[in-house]
Chain A
Amino acid sequence: MTQHVDAVSRTEPADPALVSTGSRRGRWAVVLGTVVAILAILPWLPFGVPGVFSGPFNTPGTLQVLAVGITLAALAMSYDVVFGYTGLLSFGHALPFALGVYGTNLLMTHATLPYPVAGLAAVAGVVVVSLLLGSVALRTTGVAFAMVTLAFSEAFSLLVLTDPLRFLGGEEGLSLASDQVPDLFRGVVNVRFIYWLALTVAVAVYLVARKVVTSRAGRVFEAIRENEPRVEMMGLRPFPFKLASFVLGSGLAASCGAVYLLVVRGANVGVTTPEFTLAILVMVVLGGAGRLWGAAIGGFVYGLLTLRLSAVATSDVIDSLPGWLSGPLSEPLFVLGTLFVLLMLFAPEGISSVTSRMRRR
């Protein structure tokens, strides 16, 4: 991986470095506070960004788009812990997210739990499930691990699609069990409360993930990513650390899933598919793996792109092109996939690498 330089500079014990870390931490808090404050006041702003959003920030449509972007940003951060920091190439990260979405809704429908309780219970359930699946999947490494995790998430996807017990909704999905949702989060006028909930959870995910990756265990995560045999040689067993990272990432993803259920008002089979896992991977790599804020930007940009590219796709400019060109260009995934290939060829470290490259200069 390409994060080597950063990993080394962060662990330098020299005194001047400590001083600069102190001021950097102060700056970090200011930056985070500013970003969150700006995002938090958006629902009151009567203007928008023409071209990017269909209306001003205070309209429900724009807030919904933003809420999707923020939830995906949080999801990307949860995956960054597993993939970016620990180097575990899991192709099954859609599974904990989808379990969060479906689990919360099913608990509200069948156990008639109120939304907050159902959400927390779903997260707890995902932690247990990922502990089990992780202990099996982590018997393999590298690409075999990727394939095994992919198979697990595909199994759930097939279970939802075929729905042998007739309670997962199959292809149509499930609609939100709105009876159990607090009044605050119901109705179109209250989209801003859902938006603030998404923002709160995203900040919580960021803080938890940051706490862990900067802890001593987080150092071991990065060491495993850089050189697993060496970690073993130094007397640490990588397995418990890898499992911890996998379970933490899954738990955070499940909490994003519980929010996503509210944001899109239902559970859709799309979030269970392997394609969605690959989308999460694209988000993280787009922003830059191994940096939480990079992953967050990647997730946010990806969310906006997929939602808005389809609007661009139906525009007159595209329609006026010849058929062999307008067909593929109206497919958001074609544009995204091509962008991604170019990114891999020319800037494999993602969007956030551009800034760190500037800093290194």
Chain B
Amino acid sequence: MSSFVLYTITGLGLAGLYFLLASGLSLIFGLMSVLNLAHGAFFAAGGFAAWWVMDALTVLPPGLRFVVAVVLAGLVGMVAGALVERGLIRHLYGRHVEQILLTIGLGMAAVALMGGWFSYDPRLLSQPAWFTDTTVIAGANVPNSRLLILGVAAVLLVGLMLFLARTRHGLIIRAGVENPNMVRALGIDVDRSFTIVFALGGLLAGVGGALAGVYFNGISPNLGTTQLIFAFIVVVIGGLGSVPGTALAAVLVALTQVYVNNYLSTGVGSISVVGLLALVLLIRPQGLLGKAAP
């Protein structure tokens, strides 16, 4: 029983990471039909930003330093997202395949750039002592870092939902996902929303990268590339463009992966996730909470 609780909370922590990476992908895709293959690079960039803060700003106490690290990671992701949209994607409006191809090249170059600067060996992220302590929940010793990741992801999920539901920008984004031409016809500047969505996706990915450094106990340039595949699976299972769907799918995918890895055999978990994807596609091609296929 106690191991079940531990696996569940570990799985939920992993779900938090998947959600942070996948929600940005899903929103960007929903609004702009751009599949951003450079998203994994934002993730890794956030991770390295966090590593740099933890490594260099030793004047701050560890707890505060970690808060600064997460904030900086988010900012790095946000700026990277906005720059990529403004500087590159914008020049290829309406040409979806070219946009995807551009992000492929960008992702390759960015990962190699980080590899050239930081080398491909994982960098250890120094963590506050509290993270590695455990809390007893229903008889299981759960590392605090798992709870932290889960908490941050939940806060960002609620924040994202509120942003989309309550603010004017959120309203425009939701309307744009529904029908961008109509929004444009009403005289609203959808292009600005494109930048906002990219920046938002970058922010979420950057924070995700910092937390992934805690979860996987290290940062490497390929961190995002591996996780991006699972994020894609999450996005497709959840339904393209649906944030609640992404959250639901993230939980489903991460729990499947962790349970299978621990109860059946290590390594089979990732493969079973692909099986889950095939199953969902056969039953519901548009994803769990997605609209009917366009």
Interface, chain A (partner B; CB < 8 A): 1, 89, 136-137, 139-141, 143-144, 146-148, 150-152, 154-155, 158-159, 161-164, 274-275, 278, 281-282, 285, 324, 326-334, 336-341, 343-345, 348
In the complex, A159→B268 CA distance in Å?
Answer: 8
Determine which of A151, A282, A324, A348 lies in contact with B117 in the assembled complex, contact meaning CB atoms within 8 Å. A324
A345 touches B267 (CB 8 A): no
B95 touches A348 (CB 8 A): yes
CB-CB < 8 A to B281: which residues of A? 136-137, 139-140, 148
* 7 A-B pairs with the lowest CB-CB distances in the bound complex, closest first: A337-B109, A162-B267, A340-B105, A327-B116, A337-B108, A328-B116, A334-B112
Q: Given A1-B97, A139-B281, A348-B95, are A281 and B293 also a contact pair (CB < 8 Å)?
A: no
A155 touches B116 (CB 8 A): no
CB-CB < 8 A to B106: which residues of A? 337, 341
Most chain B CB within a 10 A radius of its CB, from A1, A282, A285, A337: A337
Q: Given A340-B105, A344-B92, are A89 and B97 also a contact pair (CB < 8 Å)?
A: yes
A328 touches B112 (CB 8 A): yes
In the complex, B104 has a CB within 8 A of chain A: yes
A136 touches B92 (CB 8 A): no
In the complex, A274→B88 CA distance in Å?
Answer: 23
Across the two chains, which residue of chain A brings its CB closest to B115? Answer: A331
B35 touches A327 (CB 8 A): no
CB-CB < 8 A to B278: which residues of A? 136, 148
Determine which of A136, A324, A333, A339 lies in contact with B111 in the assembled complex, contact meaning CB atoms within 8 Å. A333
Instruction: Supply 23 A–B pairs (Cβ within 8 Å), ascending by A.
Output: A140-B285, A141-B293, A144-B293, A146-B35, A147-B233, A150-B232, A151-B277, A155-B274, A161-B267, A162-B270, A164-B268, A282-B108, A327-B116, A328-B113, A328-B115, A331-B112, A331-B116, A333-B108, A337-B105, A340-B101, A341-B102, A343-B105, A345-B102
Given A282-B108, A333-B109, 8 extra CB contacts under 8 A: A143-B29, A143-B33, A147-B35, A150-B229, A328-B115, A328-B116, A340-B101, A348-B95
Q: Give residues of chain B (242-294) contacting chain A, Cβ–Cβ below 8 Å.
A: 265-268, 270-271, 274, 277-278, 281-282, 285, 293
A147 touches B235 (CB 8 A): yes
Q: How far is the CB of B271 from chain A (nearest CB, A)?
A: 5
In the complex, B145 has a CB within 8 A of chain A: no
Q: Give residues of chain B (96-135) contacting chain A, Cβ–Cβ below 8 Å.
A: 96-98, 100-102, 104-113, 115-117
In the complex, B73 has a CB within 8 A of chain A: no
CB-CB < 8 A to B109: which residues of A? 333-334, 336-338, 340-341
CB-CB < 8 A to A341: which residues of B? 88, 102, 105-106, 109
CB-CB < 8 A to B236: which residues of A? 140, 144, 147-148, 151
Main secondary structure of the interface of A (DSSP, over half): helix
CB-CB < 8 A to B107: which residues of A? 337
Most chain A CB within a 10 A radius of its CB, from B91, B92, B104, B285: B104
In the complex, B204 has a CB within 8 A of chain A: no
In the complex, A140→B113 CA distance in Å?
Answer: 34
Across the two chains, which residue of chain A brings its CB closest to B285? Answer: A139
CB-CB < 8 A to B102: which residues of A? 340-341, 344-345
In the complex, A275→B37 CA distance in Å?
Answer: 11
In the complex, A283→B95 CA distance in Å?
Answer: 19
In the complex, B195 has a CB within 8 A of chain A: no
A158 touches B240 (CB 8 A): no
A344 touches B101 (CB 8 A): yes
Q: Given A89-B97, A337-B105, are A345 and B88 also a contact pair (CB < 8 Å)?
A: yes
Q: Give residues of chain B (24-45) contacting chain A, Cβ–Cβ below 8 Å.
A: 29, 33, 35, 37
Across the two chains, which residue of chain B brings its CB closest to A344? Answer: B102
In the complex, A147→B109 CA distance in Å?
Answer: 21
In the complex, B225 has a CB within 8 A of chain A: yes
Determine which of B113, B225, B271 lies in contact with A155 in the assembled complex, contact meaning CB atoms within 8 Å. B271
Q: How far is the CB of B270 from chain A (nearest CB, A)?
A: 5
CB-CB < 8 A to B274: which residues of A? 151-152, 154-155
Across the two chains, which residue of chain A brings its CB closest to B279? Answer: A136
In the complex, A282→B102 CA distance in Å?
Answer: 10
Q: Given A136-B278, A146-B35, A329-B116, are A338 and B105 also a contact pair (CB < 8 Å)?
A: yes
Across the two chains, which residue of chain B brings its CB closest to A285? Answer: B101
CB-CB < 8 A to B113: which residues of A? 328, 331, 334
Q: Give residues of chain B (195-235) contacting chain A, Cβ–Cβ below 8 Å.
A: 225, 229, 232-233, 235
Q: How far is the CB of A66 from chain B (nearest CB, A)?
A: 25
B88 touches A148 (CB 8 A): no
CB-CB < 8 A to B33: which residues of A? 143
Q: How far is the CB of A338 from chain B (nearest CB, A)?
A: 5
A282 touches B98 (CB 8 A): no
A282 touches B104 (CB 8 A): yes
CB-CB < 8 A to A327: which residues of B? 116-117
CB-CB < 8 A to A136: which residues of B? 278, 281-282
A158 touches B271 (CB 8 A): yes
B112 touches A345 (CB 8 A): no
Determine which of A326, A336, A345 lies in contact with B108 in the assembled complex, contact meaning CB atoms within 8 Å. A336
In the complex, A115→B91 CA distance in Å?
Answer: 50
CB-CB < 8 A to A139: which residues of B? 281-282, 285
CB-CB < 8 A to A334: which residues of B? 108-109, 112-113, 115-116
Q: Give residues of chain B (122-169) contacting chain A, Cβ–Cβ below 8 Å.
A: none
In the complex, A318→B294 CA distance in Å?
Answer: 50
In the complex, A275→B101 CA distance in Å?
Answer: 13
Across the two chains, which residue of chain A brings its CB closest to B99? Answer: A344
A274 touches B100 (CB 8 A): no
